[in-house]
């Protein structure tokens, strides 16, 4: 088992542990809307919607991280296990792993920044209303 798998296994265990993070873990539902390809029959450009779901921890930024511009006091920091975030079809998870992107709407808030830890085990998403 590599470092990534170990981190993900330990975090998943902590996410499930009633004495650990279980009370802080929330469902994560994200939506990405992008323009599709031009349809010459209708003369329109349809909107393509991709949905994904998983679970994560919504937190806040440390006061030393808040600069009032790039990170505001109302921004949220969302941590998601990469191996638990899947594309959904009709609200049912598929086997396709999802990757959050800037501009996605997660929990009614817009993703401003998306990064991952060095081991590639978790996503950290900056969210703003």
The dihedral sign for the CA sequence 8, 10, 12, 14: negative
Q: Are 83 and 115 in contact (CB under 8 A)?
A: no
In tens, the pLDDT along 95-115 reads: 999 999 999 999 999 999 999
User: What's the whole-model pTM score?
Assistant: 0.86
At 37 the three-state DSSP class reads: coil
How many residues does this entry show for the chain? 129
Q: Are 101 and 32 in contact (CB under 8 A)?
A: yes
pLDDT tens digit at each of 129 positions of the chain: 788 888 888 888 888 888 888 889 999 999 999 999 999 999 999 999 999 999 999 999 999 999 999 999 999 999 999 999 999 999 899 999 999 999 999 999 999 999 999 988 999 999 999
All residues at 6 or more sequence positions from 62 whose CB lies less than 8 Å from its CB, including other chains: none
Cα–Cα distance for residue pair 64/30, rounded to 1 Å: 28
């Amino acid at each position: 088992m590599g470092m990534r798998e170990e981190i993900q296994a330990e975090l998943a265990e902590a996410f499930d542990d009633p004495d650990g993070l279980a009370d802080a873990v929330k469902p994560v539902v994200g939506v990405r809307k992008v323009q599709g390809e031009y349809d010459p029959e209708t003369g329109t450009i349809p909107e393509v919607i991709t949905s994904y779901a998983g679970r994560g921890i919504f937190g806040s930024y440390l006061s030393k991280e808040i600069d009032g511009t790039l990170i505001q006091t109302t921004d949220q920091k969302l941590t998601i296990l990469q191996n638990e975030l899947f594309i959904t079809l009709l609200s049912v998870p598929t086997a396709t792993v999802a990757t959050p992107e800037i501009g996605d709407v997660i929990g009614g808030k817009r993703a401003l920044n998306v990064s991952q830890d060095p081991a590639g085990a978790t996503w950290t998403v900056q969210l703003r209303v």
